Amino acid sequence: MDPESRGDVHEGFDFGVPCTSIYAPGFERTDEDVNVWPRQLGEPFKTSIMQYYEAVTALGRKLTQLFALSLSLEETYFDKYITLPAVIARILYYPPQTGDIDLKELGIGAHRYSKTDLKLRPQ
């Protein structure tokens, strides 16, 4: 991480499964959609994003089953620990940088992750 950096040049949209805050004492799922969707993109955007979200969440569940098998455990060993996964998704757009590029303001600068992240790119 570069302490002199002014940060990445990108736009982002965060969303997650409808639920109360995972940090609240009474964390629970809810039927109410607590995401704030951009109105100008309309219902097709929301539908597509949530279909993608569900597919990637299913992939994450499948990966935990593969992790269990690789550790010589039952395939469903971790299932009891992920009944309410706190899955939060972030869509990022890094616009092309043209002209004179300030090296203190890169599209995607040096960074690290402290959790398991799936980085998926459209084909």
pLDDT in tens, 80-96: 887 766 677 778 787 78
**Taking the domains of the chain in order of start, what are their residue ranges?**
18-85
β-partners of residue 91 are 13
Residue 67 host element (H or E): helix 42-70
In 1-123, the DSSP E strands lie at: 11-16, 88-93
Question: For residue 97, what pLDDT is reported?
Answer: 76
What is the band of 50 on the pLDDT scale with cuts at 50, 70, 90? confident
- Residue 28 CB-density burial (10 A; 0-12 exposed, 13-18 middle, 19+ buried): exposed
Question: Per the confidence metrics, is the pTM higher than 0.75?
Answer: no
Collapsing DSSP to helix, strand or coil, 29 comes out as strand
Question: For residue 60, what pLDDT is reported?
Answer: 84
For residue 38, give the nearest of 108, 99, 91 by alpha carbon.
91
